[in-house]
Structure 1
């Protein structure tokens, strides 16, 4: 954190804030502020003009809040046993004005004016987004471990506090929110601030005068009708702006009043005569026209309001889809974004003016864009991990679309497990293949040995067995015996070796009597194989 030597509330402080995104603006940026709409913050940042602050807001909220903060600081210092120093710091393009910070910077102090609801929330340890986004930015900028959040009026009696520590993922969401705010700020065009529309009725109709004495003796009914119909025809039925809607709603009520007045005039005339057809017909015509216009306008108001709401919701949904399509393009077809939930209809529910409808939808759109951008960043990080860790084993990850939606730590562990298991399986296959080859070679060798053995082995011609000592001779000078070290129990293996043509041999045994017996038994085999037995121990 870079510390700036400015006093909070000074001209230098205001000038510094104009160049950064401040912690107090974070709730509005996230669409969670109780005091400022997100579009108002966009307009203020775009134009450099803050909202007008009335003298009573400055005196009774800001000034009084600073006084309570100054009184609450020593109370908290006494409780924690450390001094607290106001600090203004920045990190990148983010700024935080800290009501207090300990000397080592591990603990912060944030003060809010006393109110019963906030005090109850603090005691319950449950802050709403209007407050915690500011604290998250303070912790992010300062690098502190926690904030002591205080709600008080500067006295011990009305003083409650709670510790707030960073909530996992909120800091990342905050950073993504400011990133989206910057993107929206580039495309934002401030709109003219229009005061709240107040409806007005059409021109007043002249007073209807009727005098009857068995017949109409005096009446301006024809002039009244002509004027009335002209006024009705001049009523606007093209509803586009808040002013139009306000006018239409007023006119609906006005038409109802006209109907009531005409009915009253009719009843007055009836009290003077039993039947005056022309009078009643004219009055009925005027009343019918007033009723028709009232019903038509009322339907138009209702239908147009529904239409505008639907347009706002659909436009917001299209803007979100365009943002998601842009992220999909950046993924180059390696993966696709999942559906990002957005409740635009819920965001505008209960709002009446067009400006509030649009602001509600825009705030929900910003929230959904922030969430989509975070998902996109996570997918890109996971794709990078796949390429770097899987290497030549990408064929093991045909479920990439599902995997890239995991947390990166979980994905990295899964990649390592899959690659390791595959490598172990491949090593096992190779060893099994080598074992099959060795088995086949042994089997082939045994078949060759059996085929190469002389037929006489089955029934050797009778010969006179040579004495055992005659079979033990010195090898010829040219012979290069192969050392065959065998124990008595391995003499059978010696026979197989001789039959396989492995000669001449040197035999080392601990039992020469057994060897003599073997030679006597298999003498013809040894002689036909040209084997010379040498007493290697001699």
Structure 2
């Protein structure tokens, strides 16, 4: 808010009002002001020409109003228990101006006072601010940031002072601002016409001379021929090209005038009849003039009705086409046919001119209706645009043209439902995909397990076959060795038999190792290296009859010559084991 250091009614105040949109003009802009039409406001804003204020209006309306405001302000201060201060300010943009008859220091409560009117007072008593005042209060609240306004209707006396509280809504403020924006667009295109001081009252055709007829059994004196010539000339001069309110007023006046001519001719005819029984020429002439007057009257009467209807239709059709053009431009901006032209009909403009007589009043009311329709269409376009911008993925709204006009919260809720549905569908799809992959992996794993098991079984079978073959080979070798042992034993038995048959001989004595051989030693570890992969322990060698000859630290020592004995002992032991295994098998 920008507070202006000016007082209401001063030249500085008028200068500030000349360059702004004023709260007191809001009802006229919205087309509900009682004394100023929207068209008149357009004219004043475009030209800067305002009606002159007479001394009487200044004294008994404006000055009286300021006196009543001061008295009413004191009454409201007593009621509120808080002082009120007259203030003039604009909004932060400096575009909208408001003048308050009183506001609190914190600008939470304001006051607006109107001179006493029974109609306004009755509305206030019912707790309602008339619409032709409410738009002014809306703009005051918008400019000052007031919470409420005390609306007073008073003549300065307690007996005729009533008030009520007024609070606005965000929707009304938005409507007011949209109305001013549309007014600015209309103002840019407005072409001023000279204002009409008074409504046309019509002008009758030129008066005809008095018709004089005297008869005494025959026509003795008459100006009928001159009267006929003059009357027909007047009839033909009547304007039938009706364009303006003045033309229509003239035509309506001419209709009445022609009817009067007919009535006068009937009167003259009856007067003549009262003087003579039959004067054909007189009556034929009178009938001719009367028929012409009647024809002119009927033609004009019909023309007035048809032309007025035609002009009314033209005004309505022109406004409707302007609205369709405006909607077309909005749809072009939106990038699609989102605002259906079928949502608006010419009937709304026909309703606006219902009961109106003058073309000017029709144009003004239709202009207000058109401005309001454009404001509604603009708001609808803004809503559609906002709804479209709120959707990140337009595939969620394939039916956008059908749902785009929904209220933002309803539209957002619908899109959120679709987002949730898509998310759930995607989750179901992913779950199904995961299940499919799991099933495929499980089947693949099962196949792999079967293949691995088959390979294991194949290898196991091959190993068993190899082991069996090895075992068979070992058994064959054992049998061969056993056969060799058996053959050796048979040979030994045969040799023994032969020996028994020989003289007893000295038992064989193992060759005695040489001193060098007896002195050479070998560790148990070295013996195992030679016998690898066979590994023997000192205890095992002792069981074979081989004893150590000493120790070198932790190493057990044997004679080098014992290695042969160890091999012989092992061969005997292994042969015995083989025989036992073969017998066991």
- TM-score bracket relative to the smaller structure: 0.7 to 0.9
Alignment of 1:248-327 (within 5 A): 248-327=251-330
Aligned residue in 1 for 2:144: 142
CA positional deviation for 1:341:
5.9
Aligned residue in 1 for 2:358: 353
Answering whether residue 78 of structure 2 is matched by residue 75 of structure 1, we say no
**Bigger shift: 421-430 or 92-101?**
421-430
Kept in 1, the 8 Å contact 2:327–2:339? The answer is no
Aligned residue in 1 for 2:527: none
Kept in 2, the 8 Å contact 1:323–1:369? The answer is yes
In structure 2, runs of 5+ residues without a counterpart are: 465-585
Corresponding residue SS for 2:276: coil
Distance in 1 separating the partners of 2:268 and 2:3: 79
Distance in 2 separating the partners of 1:251 and 1:112: 44
Aligned residue in 1 for 2:396: 396
Residue by residue over 1:438-483, the C-alpha shift from the partner in whole angstroms, topping out at 9 and shown as x without a partner, is 22322343345446444999xxx9xxxxxxxxxxxxxxxxxxxxxx
Answering whether residue 40 of structure 2 is matched by residue 35 of structure 1, we say no
Answering whether residue 228 of structure 2 is matched by residue 234 of structure 1, we say no
Residue by residue over 1:247-279, the C-alpha shift from the partner in whole angstroms, topping out at 9 and shown as x without a partner, is 111111111111121122111221221111111
Kept in 2, the 8 Å contact 1:28–1:41? The answer is yes
Distance in 2 separating the partners of 1:268 and 1:336: 71
Alignment of 1:317-396 (within 5 A): 317-333=320-336, 335-337=338-340, 339-340=343-344, 343-386=348-391, 390=392, 393-396=393-396
Structure 1 136/341 Cα, relative in aligned 2: closer, same or farther at 3 Å? farther
Distance in 2 separating the partners of 1:419 and 1:334: 25
Distance in 1 separating the partners of 2:229 and 2:125: 70
Corresponding residue SS for 2:89: strand
In structure 1, runs of 5+ residues without a counterpart are: 462-538
**Bigger shift: 278-287 or 398-407?**
398-407
Kept in 1, the 8 Å contact 2:384–2:405? The answer is yes
Structure 1 225/337 Cα, relative in aligned 2: closer, same or farther at 3 Å? closer
Corresponding residue SS for 1:170: helix
Aligned residue in 2 for 1:104: 106
Alignment of 1:178-193 (within 5 A): 178-193=180-195
Structure 1 341/418 Cα, relative in aligned 2: closer, same or farther at 3 Å? same
Aligned residue in 2 for 1:202: 205
Distance in 2 separating the partners of 1:425 and 1:395: 15
CA positional deviation for 1:355:
1.0
TM superposition score normalised by structure 2: 0.74
CA positional deviation for 1:106:
1.1
CA positional deviation for 1:176:
0.7
Alignment of 1:517-532 (within 5 A): none
TM superposition score normalised by structure 1: 0.81
Aligned residue in 1 for 2:118: 116
Answering whether residue 5 of structure 2 is matched by residue 5 of structure 1, we say yes
Distance in 1 separating the partners of 2:259 and 2:421: 81
CA positional deviation for 1:213:
1.5
**Bigger shift: 267-276 or 91-100?**
267-276
Distance in 1 separating the partners of 2:175 and 2:306: 38
CA positional deviation for 1:358:
0.9
Structure 1 334/234 Cα, relative in aligned 2: closer, same or farther at 3 Å? closer
Aligned residue in 1 for 2:483: none
Structure 1 197/334 Cα, relative in aligned 2: closer, same or farther at 3 Å? closer
Q: Considering only aligned residues, what root-mean-square deviation do their CA atoms show, in Å? A: 2.4
Residue by residue over 1:203-230, the C-alpha shift from the partner in whole angstroms, topping out at 9 and shown as x without a partner, is 2222222222211222222222112211
Aligned residue in 2 for 1:464: none
Alignment of 1:399-410 (within 5 A): 399-410=399-410
Residue by residue over 1:108-134, the C-alpha shift from the partner in whole angstroms, topping out at 9 and shown as x without a partner, is 111111222212211222223211110
Aligned residue in 1 for 2:560: none
Distance in 1 separating the partners of 2:57 and 2:345: 38
Residue by residue over 1:127-151, the C-alpha shift from the partner in whole angstroms, topping out at 9 and shown as x without a partner, is 2321111011001111111111111
Kept in 1, the 8 Å contact 2:120–2:130? The answer is no
**Bigger shift: 18-27 or 429-438?**
429-438
Higher-helix-fraction structure = 2
Corresponding residue SS for 2:159: coil
Q: Greater relative contact order: 1 or 2 (C-alpha under 8 angstroms, separation 6 or more)? A: 1
CA positional deviation for 1:318:
0.6
Distance in 1 separating the partners of 2:441 and 2:199: 96
Corresponding residue SS for 1:109: strand
Structure 1 239/394 Cα, relative in aligned 2: closer, same or farther at 3 Å? closer
Aligned residue in 1 for 2:127: 125
Distance in 1 separating the partners of 2:273 and 2:168: 79
